[in-house]
Every structure is written in structure tokens, then in C-alpha cells.
Amino acid sequence: MKSRKIWTTLLAGCMLAGSVLAGCGGGAAPTAENKPQTEAGAGQTAAQGGDEYQEVTIRLAYNLPQDHHVSRGVEDFAKKVTERSGGKVKIQVYPSGQLLSDKEMNQAILTGGVEMGVNSSTLWASVVPEMGIFDVPFSFPTYDLAGKALKGEIGEKLNQHMEAKGAKVLMYADYGYAQFANNVKPLKSPADFKGLKFRSIGEIPSAMLQGYGAAPVFMGAGEVYMALQRNTIDGATSGTTAMVQRKYDEVSKYLTIANYAYLEFLLAVNKKFWDGLPPKTQELLATTASETEDWIRQQAEQEDKKTAEQLKEKGMEVYVVPESDYPVWKEAGKPAVDEYLKNSGDTGKELIQLVESLQ
């Protein structure tokens, strides 16, 4: 009996010593503030045996309407991550600008104010100039080209520049093509923009609008409806998917389908937070994001066509720019190319060449 007690005591001492030693090299466990371990391999502790996920809660914010196809994809991504981790990796979603506006999103991600967020490539271009490639007029003439570019060298270069600024790109969510809506007159050529006030969200689209003779006005997506209603602006650029959901047809009469820019929304993670996640969790997030990215890309073309038709049915007068006229629109929008190259330098020039080589 005494011998058994001695062995029990020795075993307990060994286990305690092992715990102390493990604690010296393993770093702190995640807290209520969602600060994961940062040391390499911290997630694969002896207690987990590499088979369980480390518990963590991740806040994910986005500004799009909840029924937008990008939003539906993001919501499904969050649900799958939580389910696949057995509830250990919880993603709390804050939709439709509940937590952050699109103008606040990037800074919140970079500073860790939120762990994960979705925002447009146009707005990211103010932080990572190279990301403005999607706003260079008529650079991506087909849906397939965008996917091909992002899964290759172009995507790799953009990801590297994002990470250098402090954000890890998990997914490129295809929003679809950008169009023009206004309540003044049909826009059938760049000359028709002269004197109009147009909502813009970035330097490159603004340079294009100025090249067309319009005056760009910066404002968030949630402000556009009221601005059009009150004639604070005459028109706005956006995808037809958002135009339907934000009810542009109620406050603007004319729609021009020009497919001038292929809009991307990025699901990005604070880089420091990402680096502190266990490899097992990183793999789960990356794999699920890749699946979601493919689904969203399939939806983009279908949604563009469907929502353009819906706007027509709701009473908007639709003009489709013939592809034969694209060179005229592209030439008039050349100030946008100059603006992009001014901000992105040699890398921007290289990205434009890479895009052109894929066409």
C-alpha cells in the first residue's frame, strides 16, 4: 500500500514538472480578448494531441447587404468554419455595417480593432496602391480572366504587398462588374459625363471620372441612396447587384452597362492575429475560404445579369455600351491608368503587363 502511494506521488510530481516545462515554452493560452498563442506550433499542445482545435472567437465585419452573393458566401464561410471545428473556432459575423463602415474597415483590420473583415479592393488601394489594378478601366474584360489572374502570379504579388502592410488575404470575393447609374440623362459616351457629380470611393475611379468630365464625390456606400434622392450627387458607380439591394432604381433613372472595372472584395485578417493562430486553425480557415471563393466567383456573372434585368424591370432606362466602343471609353479614362502608375510604380506597371498577357 505504501509502495503504491509512493508511485502515485512520484507520478503526480512528474506530471506537474511536465506541465511547468511545457508552460515555459508554450506561451499564454487564448484569452477572452481573443489573443491566440504566437509561438510556432503553440496550437499543437500535448493536451490537444494535435487532434483538437484551440478555442478562439474571431470577429468578422462586412458592409454589404446581407442578401448580396458575396455576403451569402461570407456567412456560409463563417458557418462552415464553426461547424468543422466542432464549435472551437467561432466566427462572430457583424453584417451590413453593424460594426464598421467601409471607410473604417481597413484601419480596424490593420490595428486589430477587428480580427477579420471584408472590404473592396478599391478602398484597399489607398493602403496598398498595387491593389488598384482592379480599378484600371477595362483591364479585366471577362469573368474568367479575373479568376485566372488571382490564382496565379498576379494574386501572389498582391498578397505579398497586403501582408507587408499587416493584412493576410484569405479570399478574393468577386463582386462583379462596375456600372454607372444616374438621374440626369443617358450616358452613351464619356462626353455625356461632363458636369455631373458622381459618387466615387477611390483615387483611380475618381481620375477616370475626371477624365470623362465629371466631378467625383467621396462617400460611403450607405450614403448614396440619400445623396441621389436629395440631388447631392447626380450619379454613382457600383455593381448592379448592390444597386438592386440598395434600391438605386428609386432614386436614379438611367443605367449604363459599361463593365469598366471588375470589382473585388477581400476577406482579410489582421496579420499579427493570423500568425498567432495554430497551424491547424490556419489550414481550416484557408481551405474553407478557398472553397467559398470558387462559389462566389461562379455567382458573380449570374448575379450581374439577373440584377441588370431586375433594374430594367423596375423602370430604369438601360444602355449597354457596345464592346466596339470600349477603346473610346478606355482612352478617355487614361488619367486613371496614370494615377495607378503614379501610386504603384514599377510593380503597378508589371501588374498591368501581366494582366494584358492573359488577355
Residue 12 lies in a domain: no
The verdict on residue 19 lying in a domain is no
**Each residue of 262-317: pLDDT tens digit?**
999 999 999 999 999 999 999 999 999 999 999 999 999 999 999 999 999 999 99
Q: Which amino acid is at 167?
A: A
Per-residue model confidence as pLDDT tens digits over 312-345: 999 999 999 999 999 999 999 999 999 999 999 9
Exposure on the CB side of residue 295, measured as CA atoms within 13 A: 15
Q: Could you report the per-residue pLDDT of 121-133, keeping only the tens digit for each?
A: 999 999 999 999 9
Minimum mean pLDDT range among 36-50, 83-97, 106-120, 267-281: 36-50
Q: Judge whether 217 lies within some domain.
A: yes
Record the cell numbers describing residue 305, joined without a space.
445579369
DSSP 95: -
Query: Is position 17 within any domain?
Result: no
Predicted pLDDT of residue 12: 40
Q: Is the pLDDT of residue 39 over 80?
A: no
* 140, 187, 308 from 318: Cα distances, Å: 22, 10, 8
- Give the domain CATH number at 295: 3.40.190.170
Cβ distance 309 to 303 under 8 Å? no
Distance CA 247, CA 240 (A): 10
The torsion defined by the Cα of 193, 196, 199 and 201, in degrees rounded to 10, comes to 60
Asked whether residue 29 is domain-assigned, the answer is no
Antiparallel, parallel or unpaired: β 167-182 and 254-270: antiparallel
Q: What is the pLDDT at residue 60?
A: 98
Domain count, the chain: 1
Helices (H), ranges, 181-255 = 203-211, 224-229, 240-245
Following CA atoms 12, 14, 19, 24 in sequence, which dihedral angle do they give, to the nearest 10 degrees? 150
Residue 359: what pLDDT?
85
Residues 83-90, mean pLDDT to the nearest whole number: 98
pLDDT of residue 202: 85
pLDDT of residue 79: 98
Q: What is the mean pLDDT of residues 203-208?
A: 95
Residue 253, pLDDT above cutoff 60 = yes
What average pLDDT score do residues 66-95 get?
97
pLDDT above 70 coverage of the chain, percent: 86
Question: Average pLDDT over the chain, rounded to whole?
Answer: 87
Q: pLDDT tens, 172-194? A: 999 999 999 999 999 999 999 99
pLDDT at 28: 35
Does the residue 44 lie in any domain? no
Chain centroid, CA 145 distance in Å: 18
Q: Is the pLDDT of residue 161 over 80?
A: yes
Phi, psi of 276 (to 5 degrees): -85, -10
Q: Can you tell me the distance from the alpha carbon of 269 to that of 58, in angstroms, rounded to the nearest whole number?
A: 10
Average of per-residue pLDDT across 93-120: 96
Structure confidence at residue 65 as a pLDDT band (50, 70, 90) = confident
**pLDDT band at residue 235 under the 50/70/90 scheme:** very high
- Kindly report the pTM of this predicted structure: 0.80
Domain residue limits at 320: 56-358
Is the pLDDT at 48 greater than 90? The verdict is: no
Predicted confidence at residue 307, as pLDDT, reads 97
Average pLDDT over residues 159-182: 97
Query: What confidence score (pLDDT) does residue 50 get?
Result: 52
- Let me know if residue 185 belongs to a domain: yes
Q: Is residue 40 part of a domain?
A: no
